Amino acid sequence: MKQIKFFILAVTFSFLISYPALAADEPSPDDKQKTLTMETFTVSASKREGTIKDFPGNISVMDDMFIETRGIDTLDDLTRFAPNVYIKNTSSGGSIVCRGISTIDTSLFSPMGLYVDDVPYPIGYMSDQDLFDVDRIEILRGPQATLYGRNSESGVINVVLKQPDNEKHKKVMLELGNYYTARLGISASGPISEDELYYGISMQGLTTRGYNTNILTNDDDVNGKKTFNGRGTIRWTPTDDWDISFNLDGAMRDLGISALRYMEGPSATDRYKVTSNESDKATEEEIGQSAKIKRSWSNMELTSITSHRTFDREHHLDSDRTAKEISYSDLNMDTDSWNQEIRLASKGKSDLSWLVGVYGSYENIDAGINFTNVKPALSSTRLGNSEGTEYALFGQATYEIINGLRLTGGTRLDTTYNTGEQTYTPNTGATSYKESVDDTEFLPMGSVAYDFNSHVTAYTTVSTGFLAGGFNFYSATDADSFAYDAEHTLNYEAGIKTNWFNNILTFNLTGFYTDITDKQVRESVADGGVGAWKFSNAAEAHTQGIEVESRYKPIPELQFIAGFGYADSEIDDWSTIVGGKSVDYSGKKLPWAPEYTYNFDVQYNHASGFFAVADLLGTGEQYFDAANDLKGDAYQTVNLRLGYKTGDLEVSIWSENIFDTAYAVKKVASGTGDTMVEDGAPTTYGVTLNWSF
C-alpha cells in the first residue's frame, strides 16, 4: 500500500513539474532583460548563504517586517502562518509538530529542531520562544539530519537575529492588552568603533494574568505569566576577512499552569473555570553564551560556533484537579549543554558548492518528580541523571551538471554515548537502576532540482532523520521502563517553486511521504501503579500530504498571503497491552498531529500611513491519545490589526480570536475516566506602540 501511495504521489508531481516546462516558451531578449527572481530573501538554511530556490526542499521565510506588522511575539504565533507546522504548548510541556510527526506527551525533546543564531535549543520546554529584534525566521520542512543531526527528523526552525553594524538602531515597543497584559521591549545597536567594533542589546518583559479563574479560591491569576528575556552582543571585524561575535542571553519565567479543567463528571466546570487547591506554578531560568568566528577567503569560509546553555524548570501542580486535597506533583529539571561546530564552506557562484564540518556536544540532565497522595501507597519519588556526548562528521555538496540542473548530495556520521541512572522510591522502598543508550547513525540525503526557466524550479528530495533515544525520567519504575532507543524517518518529497510577473505572485507546491520506524510510544507498565509508564520503540507509522504557499501583490499597497498544509499521519503497526488486554492501534492517527492547517492574510498599506492586516488561521482536527478517544475538533480564529505609521512612530490597535472561538489545546483522561481539557486562548485585544529611532 505504501509503495502504491508513493507511486501515485510521484506520478502526480511528475506531471505538475513537467507542465510548466511544456507550457513555457523561451524568454525573449526583452524578457531576459527583466529577469524574474525566485525570492529576494537570503537564507542560511543550508549553513551557507543562498536563496529559497537554492534550498533542496520546502522552506518558508518570515522577515522582520512580516513579524512586526502582525504583532507576532512568540514562535507559537508565528508557526500558525507556516503550513503543516504546529506548536504543542500546554501545561505538561511543549513540542514542535511538523508534517504530523509528533512525540510522546511528556518527552523532553522535540522532533523538529530549533536553532537561534546556529545555537540549538533542544528541550521541548524551550520551543515557544519570545520573539524580539529578529531579522528573519526560516522554517525547513522534512528531515534535516544531514546538516543538523539529531532531533531534526521532521524539520528545523532557524531564528536569525539582527546583527549590529555601522548603522545606529534604537527601538522601543510598548503593548497593553486585556487580562492586565503589558509588554515592554527595548533594543539598541551600533558602532563602538566604526568599521571594527559593534554592540547590540535587547530586552523584553511581559506580565499578564491570563484568562483562567480558580473558582475554588476566586483567583483570576492562575495561568498568567511574568517573563523577562535579554540578549547582548559584541561583534568585532578587525579586517574584511574576520567576523567575530560574542553573545550572552538569558530568560526568567514565572508561569501559572492551572489550565486543566474537567469537561465532564461531577467536577465539570465551564470554559476557563478551573478547580485547584494548589499553587499550580512553574519557574524557568535559561542562560546561554555563544561565540561565532568566521574567517573568509576568496573562495571559501571557515566558521566556528561554540555555545553553552543551561535551562532549569520547576513546577508544582494539583494532580487531581478537584476541590479535594488528594494529590499533587513536584517536577524539576536542570540541563547543562555544550556544543561545538566547525565547518568549511565554499563561497561565490560556481558549478560546485560544498560544505564539510565536524560537530561535538556534551549534555547533562538532572530530572525528578515527586507524586504526593493522601494514600501513601500511591505516593512516589523519582530522581534521575543522564550524561551524554555526541560526535559527528558531515558534508553536503551541490553540482550544476548543466545549466539549470542541480544535483545535491550529503551525508552525516553521527555517534552518541548516553548513560542514565535513576532511583525510584514508592512506599515499598527505593530501587535504583542504570542504563546506556549508545547509537551510531548514517544520515544521507539526495536531491535533484531543475530550473525550467528563471521563474519555475522543480525539485525532488530523499532525506533521513532521527529523534534521539533517551531516558524516561518521570514515569519509569525499573530498568526495563527507563531507557528507549532512537526513532527514524525516511522522507520522499517533490515540489515546485514559482515566481511570476516580476515577483508580484509566488506559488509553491510540495508533496511528501515519510516512513517512521522505531516509533517512540508510551505504554502502560503492568502492576506499575499510578503514573507508571514505559517508553518503547514499538510502533511503525507514516505520514503523507501536501503544502501550498502563495503570495500575491497586485499593487504596491495590497498583499495577499495564503497557505495550506495537509498531513495524514497514521500508525501502521502497534500492538500493546492496556488494562491487561491486548490492543491493536494499527490504523489510528498519531496523537498531537493536526490533520491540516491553513492561513489567509490580507495586508493593506495606504500612502497616508494607515494600514490594516486581517488573518484567518485554521487548525484541523487532532487526537490527544493513541486510542483516538480524545479528539480535538477543527477550529479557526480571526485576527485583525489597524494602525498608523508616521516617520519613526507606529501605533496599532488589534484583536486576536475576535469571534471568541472555543477550542482545545489538550485533552487527557483522569484516573476515574472523566475527560479533562485545556482551553485555547479567548478573544484578546490591545494597543501596540513601536518607536524606532
**pLDDT score of 3 more than 70:** no
> Cell 526560516 belongs to which residue?
138
CA 324, CA 276: separation in Å to the nearest integer? 8
Residue 15 confidence (pLDDT) above 50: no
Alpha carbon distance 58, 594 (integer Å): 19
pLDDT in tens, 83-135: 999 999 888 788 999 999 998 877 889 999 999 999 999 898 998 899 999 99
The span from the CA of 358 to the CA of 146, in Å, is 12
What is the per-residue pLDDT across 606-649, written as a single tens digit (0 to 9) for each?
999 999 999 999 999 999 999 999 999 999 999 999 999 999 99
Which residues, 6 or more positions from 160, have their beta carbon under 8 angstroms from its beta carbon? 44, 117, 134, 135, 136, 137, 138
Three-state DSSP state, 22: helix
Does 307 score more than 70 pLDDT?
yes
Burial class (CB in 10 A: 0-12, 13-18, 19+), 270: exposed
pLDDT of 532: 75
Closest by CA to 231, choosing from 247, 244, 252, 220, is: 247
Q: Residue 590 has what DSSP assignment?
A: P
pLDDT of 92 reads 79
Q: How confident is the model at residue 528 (pLDDT cuts 50, 70, 90)?
A: low
Q: How confident is the model at residue 29 (pLDDT cuts 50, 70, 90)?
A: very low
pLDDT at 531: 62
Mean pLDDT, range 591-605, rounded to an integer:
97
Q: Are strands 405-426 and 596-605 parallel, antiparallel or unpaired?
A: unpaired
- Specify the 3-state DSSP secondary structure of 10: helix
- In the predicted model, what is the mean pLDDT of residues 647-665? 97
Of the candidates 304, 306, 305, 330, which has an alpha carbon nearest to the alpha carbon of residue 316?
330
Summary mean pLDDT of the chain: 91
**E runs forming strands in 117-210:** 119-120, 134-141, 155-161, 169-177, 181-193, 197-208
Q: Is the pLDDT of residue 23 over 70?
A: no
The yes-or-no verdict on residue 146 having pLDDT over 50 is yes
Overall size of the chain counted in residues: 693
Q: Is the pTM of this model over 0.85?
A: yes
The residue among 19, 141, 17 whose CA lies nearest residue 449 is: 17
Give the pLDDT confidence of 439-483 residue by residue, as tens digits: 999 999 999 999 999 899 999 999 999 999 999 999 999 999 999
pLDDT at 40: 61
- pLDDT at res. 38: 34
pLDDT digits (tens, 9 = 90+) for 233-259: 999 999 999 999 999 999 999 999 999
Share of the chain above pLDDT 90, in %: 84
Q: 522 pLDDT exceeds 60? A: yes
